[in-house]
Amino acid sequence: MATVLRESDELSSRTAQPWLSLIGLGEDGAAGLCREALAALNEAEIVFGGERHIALVGSVPGELRPWPQPFRNALPQILKERGRKVCVLATSDPFHYGIGNSLSRAIPASEMRIIPQLSSFSMACTRMRWPQEECALVSLHGRTLYRIVPHLQPGARILALSWDETTPSAVAELLTARGMGSARIVVMEALGGPKERIRESRADDFALDEVVPLNLIAVEIGEARDARILPLAPGLDEDWFAHDGQITKSEIRAITLSALAPRAGELLWDVGAGSGSVAVEWCQRHLRNRAIAFEAKTERAERVRRNALELGGLSIEIAGAAPAALVGREPPDAVFIGGGLTEDGLFEAAWAALKPGGRLVANVVTIEGEARLAALHALHGGSLRRISIDRLAPVGGKHGWRPAMPVTQWRVEKP
């Protein structure tokens, strides 16, 4: 069958031609660009980029426009020039912690061509002779230093993009404080350019000076026998958390995490968070997991924040007391109610917000709480179980089993 091309289709085809070139730039500037990238740069009417990028390419035929401040205003300025020949300069691979993701969400693929360079992670692996698939890749640029914590495992090889010249020493201090002073730290500055410099040190003997802001850190952890290493299993011992006794005990927490059944990229509401232990361990299951911790007491909310950082700089938002603080929040994929279930309206508000197919888990230790769970179970179904844990304790000069308060747990999935 013959294809009939309408005038509107022809117009759409013309306007869909790439008008924007996204070019990855290395520290060697224009000298390191391929023929296609050089042609795009020389044909561009407008060239956007950071001051460092613009300095690296030098003089070009088009108009040079440094990124505006604040940076969030950059995308509207780029889109305003749609239809003209525009070039955007980025660092190395624009889709590896770069601007590529933001541009691709706003501009159809047919309107943008991408000419990347080797990422700094790739260059670092070649310098270190490390297989990239065996390395943890982390960005500390504009992010908390504690994002590196979940990767601190025996034998780990970590590549971390720095925020600035102070990041390497800060990483060394963090490693030393966690008992990993023997870790090898390699600081790679201005990778791929004429001023490239690579230096290394033990974490507990770090004294590298005059580090340039543009640097990448390679960390190699040894056996770290006596180090503070995060276990990979759920149910961290209570000693890992700052708390005032208001904490879901480790064995109960492991069972609770299993009942919540976290999946990658999901959001948890931790209602009556206490120390935030359930929210923290939810986020530890996957780097894209997030949680909102609802806690009425200011000092406990601060402990949640501290625990989140110390155990990995995790994506936990602190909110106020439920049920009032539940209003207007992003709907969760799962809800854990560790306290306050008997308060009027709390369950109803959480249940209404929970996404279809989402899981709700509630733990109680009181008779009143059990009565509430029984009523909710009769209304919504799900499963009920009682969990009892005994721990060994001294009894005079001997030892015996001391039972903790039994926990009744209800799990239900929303239709």
Question: Do residues 377 and 400 share a domain?
Answer: yes
pLDDT tens digits, 285-295: 999 999 999 99
Asked if the structure places residue 1 within a domain, the reply is no
pLDDT band at 50 (very low <50, low <70, confident <90, very high): very high
Q: Could you tell me if residue 132 is inside a domain?
A: yes
pLDDT in the model for residue 16: 59
Q: What is the CATH number of the domain that holds 215?
A: 3.30.950.10
Query: Is the pLDDT confidence value at 3 over 80?
Result: no
Is 143 in the same domain as 256? no
| 231 part of a folded domain | no
In a domain, 331, yes or no: yes
pLDDT at residue 1 in the model = 40
Whole-number pLDDT of residue 9: 41
9 within some domain? no
Same domain, 70 and 132: no
pLDDT (tens digit per residue) in 160-219: 999 999 999 999 999 999 999 999 999 999 999 999 999 999 999 999 999 999 999 999
pLDDT tens figures, 374-402: 999 999 999 999 999 999 999 999 999 99
Start-end of H helices in 70-225: 74-80, 100-106, 120-128, 167-177
Whether the pLDDT of residue 131 is over 90: the answer is yes
The answer to whether position 7 is within a domain reads no
| Domain containing residue 345 | 238-413
The domain tally of the chain equals 3
Here the contacts of 257-260 (C-beta below 8 Å, separation 24 or greater) are 257/281, 257/282, 257/285, 258/234, 259/359, 259/361, 259/409, 259/411, 260/334, 260/336, 260/359, 260/361
Do 28 and 64 reside in the same domain of the chain? yes
Selection from 408, 188, 150 nearest residue 284 by Cα: 150
Same domain, 168 and 46: no
What are the Cα distances from residue 80, in Å, to 17, 66, 88, 110, 291?
A: 16, 15, 14, 17, 37
Residue 165 lies in a domain: yes
Give yes or no for residue 8 having a pLDDT over 60.
Answer: no
Last residue of a domain, one of 116, 136, 159: 116
Task: Tell me what the pLDDT averaged over the chain comes to.
Answer: 93
* DSSP H/E element including 315: none
Residue 10 lies in a domain: no
Q: What is the CATH number of the domain that holds 301?
A: 3.40.50.150
* Cα separation, 185 vs 178, whole angstroms: 15
